[in-house]
Chain A
């Protein structure tokens, strides 16, 4: 079935002004938006630029805005979308070219929360075992694939890209809530900073945007509770 894709085009080497270009694609059953983008790139316009890698919603490369909503191009079925399909880069990040955004700041914020296990003692049996109950506390925190959909949807981040953002805070919560981790005190400096936890105004856009149905707002609340317990 033929479908139309209205795609954001921007190449600063050619023109400083972005524009939209519409492509007609013969879409096969069960195609995702990424399949259609590939078809455009391979058969119609090799200059179209976008990120993708795994094609299975795992790597987080293909985060983009599809019909006004953030999502993964490789997970969204074309059949689920109505009318002309508009594809844009993630909002809030500097656009490098077409659908490719500059994610340097995003990853610097992830790194700032020390996204690794900080334990004072070496593991006893080679592995750091955890009870099933303790492990369960990490559900909804460990599944993040770092696609940037949540941070890109956050109005606090739009006005202040120094704000750590929902993805980095969810990542922090993944380690802070881990019973084997002892690094909370080390992370407090960045979490309780001017651009840390307090810049979240509980707008919930991140929750709506996450393609993995995670809840960064809840993670932020958990971090605030943990910080309150530490300080008081």
Chain B
């Protein structure tokens, strides 16, 4: 009886990153939620939002939010899929590439949306 250990794949650093992004997600999400959805001091207007998004602090926060959410969400999905893929190495490789591609595409899309805002 052999044991399928999935040699060389490890998992520690992925797991640790999932924990770290999970913890970071909480304050960043809270801040995003308060600023975006509970903002009652003025009406939501494009110019006001654009001016806020253009500040360096909000740019940093939004890029951090984008990074954390994408990693946490997609790795979470991958972690669920892995349960079903131990005996299917080819499908595992295809799905991993697909998730990485989707992640990178969304990341680039997010960056080109956030970065061009200027005051």
Contacts and interface: CB of A to CB of B under 8 A. Distances in A.
B40 interface: no
B14 interface: yes
A160 B85 CA distance: 8
Given A108-B2, A193-B6, A162 B11 contact: no
Contact of A162 (B12, B16, B79, B86): B86
B1 A195 contact: no
B83 A193 contact: no
Contacts of B2: 108
A105 B11 CA distance: 22
A192 B4 contact: no
Interface in A177-232: 189-190, 192-199, 201, 224, 227-228, 231
A189 B12 CA distance: 11
A162 B9 contact: no
Given A111-B3, A190-B3, A195-B3, 20 more contacts: A105-B1, A107-B1, A108-B1, A108-B2, A109-B3, A112-B3, A112-B5, A156-B83, A160-B83, A160-B84, A162-B3, A162-B4, A162-B87, A164-B3, A189-B5, A193-B6, A198-B12, A224-B15, A228-B16, A231-B12
A194 B3 contact: no
Interface string B5-26: 1110111111110000000000
Interface of B: 1-7, 9-16, 79, 82-84, 86-87
Interface of A: 104-105, 107-109, 111-112, 156, 159-160, 162-164, 189-190, 192-199, 201, 224, 227-228, 231
Contacts of A105: 1
Closest 4 pairs (CB-CB, A-B): A194-B6, A198-B11, A108-B1, A193-B5
A199 B4 CA distance: 13
B12 A193 contact: no
A227 B16 CA distance: 11
Nearest to B9: A194
Contacts, number: 69
A196 B3 contact: no
Contacts of B5: 112, 162, 189-190, 193-196
Chain A interface SS verdict (over half):
helix
Nearest to B86: A162
A102 to B, nearest CB: 10
B10 A160 contact: no
Contacts of A162: 3-6, 86-87
Contacts of B14: 198
20 contacts: A105-B1, A107-B1, A108-B1, A108-B3, A111-B3, A159-B84, A162-B4, A162-B6, A162-B86, A162-B87, A163-B86, A192-B10, A193-B5, A194-B5, A194-B10, A194-B86, A195-B4, A195-B86, A197-B15, A198-B12
A11 to B, nearest CB: 24
